[in-house]
Structure 1
């Protein structure tokens, strides 16, 4: 496995998402151009491909998967972190107040409130909000479903939930002990009240990965799974826009509203939200794995004397 140039992430994170987008685009194109559609037609049309064509398909899928991975990291992952906060924060009870960057609420955890109260940072705050408006428009089919089910119907409770008070308290204590034991604090030792300001999860993850070899495979699997699901969210959003555009071409003022087209659009939008819920679930599991590993690590306390 160590000598294998391809990892599980290459398949789940790049190859499968790229090929999935190609297949779904073929299916949606046939749905938009035909009144009757059989799924077997898509696979029949490519069943006679030669070796060179299959190899070309794999290369295109892999390259497309890399593009999807990058785009989903700056759209879906950004949206999730801006809307709900980082898992390492809300797991420990630090709930994000707003999707927008507002006054007296630092956007970056390592920035103090005083920085955002300065007038020269108003432009920076405004620029970030404009970027979030653009992202909302880009992800609009998904954002609607997230607003209805995630916010109004509280489906977010399935993936954005903290731990019980006891676990929250002891994990915070262990994180503080770890950071102070590593001598990373430039001034005095940090306290539990300081954790919200810092991106401590990077330290926790690297420490857990380096010192808990038997758990490395599980952590790598979590990264591959949530990376695949993050790409899947973006794929369904792209598909939703694509089918919506194809649907507009079939509209006619004299024709009645086609309920089938509306249901397919809603179905694709809902699939994007289900994928997002699954992505957030495994993103949370990956984060919690690192936190729990340092919690049961006896060496952290002994290193602190």
Structure 2
């Protein structure tokens, strides 16, 4: 019984460790490369270029410590950074079509100005919810639209699951690499190590793409629900 309890506790701690670590590395990497979905969904309204795999202004102007930290993160997430470079991020869509983005943004902007009395400059300078303003829409929808709660929770669970499994495959990849090298040069049976390294490399990006897509859908679900709520209140 004690052994079973110990396994449960260790598994629980390991799960939280993976969740925290994946949020620090994978989610931070995504936000640095793409920005928050609540911003890049409206890129076509601002004429923001969707060029990929080039350093941002923040990255170019970053201090030495930040550059070192970014290089460490990119090195650890090498399977993702390499896939991003090879595919040019064509595996996941980014901004909304112009007309849909424009209509949705006008409704969101009007809702924020009426409901939250936010500084108008935050909404007029650029399209997209900057400075964590997305949290207001999330809590508003969660409070006043019960039918959207389950769907939002499902998206949160799905993007969290994909992010965590992505980290597991990254760890598996970095364990497989030295194992494969060692077995290759010692003329041992390296086929299984090669297979493990290849599958880890592939599934890392599969789950990363899943994470990005579900994170985007979660954000889009909240924003669309918020926009519809404004429309419903205007009609009533």
With the shorter chain as reference, the TM-score category is: 0.7 to 0.9
Partner of 2:212: 280
Task: Map 1:188-227 to 2 at 5 A.
Answer: 188=120, 190-196=122-128, 198-199=130-131, 200-227=133-160
Q: Please give the secondary structure, in 1, of the residue aligned with 2:95.
A: coil
Q: How many Å separate the matches in 2 of 1:78 and 1:189?
A: 27
1:105-163 Cα offsets, whole Å, 9 max, x none, are x58xxxxxxxx9xxxxx5x54432322111011112332233223x1xxxx33423322
Distance 2:129 2:152 in 1: 25
The one of 168, 173, 177 equivalent to 1:235 is 168
Q: After the TM superposition, which of the residue ranges 196-205 and 79-88 deviates more from structure 2? A: 196-205
Matched, 1:268 2:200: yes
- Match status 1:294 vs 2:209: no
Partner of 1:13: none
Mapped to 1, the partners of 2:90 and 2:136 lie a distance apart of 27
Label 1:184 to 1:127 Cα distance change in 2 as closer, same or farther (>3 A).
farther
Q: Is 1:100–1:129's contact at 8 Å kept on the other side of the alignment?
A: no
Answer yes or no: is 1:162 the counterpart of 2:95: yes
**Superposition RMSD on alpha carbons, in Å?**
2.8
What secondary structure, in the 3-state scheme, does the structure 1 residue paired with 2:126 have? Answer: helix
CA distance in 2, matches of 1:161, 1:275: 17
Hey, what does 2:21 align to over in structure 1?
Answer: 71
Give the match for residue 79 of structure 2.
141
Deviation at 1:178, TM superposition (A): 1.9
Partner of 1:90 in structure 2?
40
* Alpha carbons 1:172, 1:192 under 8 Å: kept: no
Following the alignment from structure 1 to structure 2, what is the Cα–Cα distance between the partners of residues 267 and 206? Answer: 39
What is the TM-score with the length of structure 2 in the denominator? 0.83
Q: Per-residue deviation at 1:69?
A: 0.7
**Can you give the 5+ residue segments of structure 2 that lack an aligned partner in the other structure?**
none
Distance 2:56 2:94 in 1: 22
1:78 to 1:96, Cα distance in 2 relative to 1, 3 A: farther
Q: Distance in 1 between matches of 2:82 and 2:183?
A: 24
- The structure that is helix-richer by fraction is 2
* Contact 1:136 1:143 survives alignment (8 Å): yes
Q: Distance in 1 between matches of 2:85 and 2:189?
A: 25
Change (3 A) 1:91 1:161: same
TM-score by length of 1: 0.66
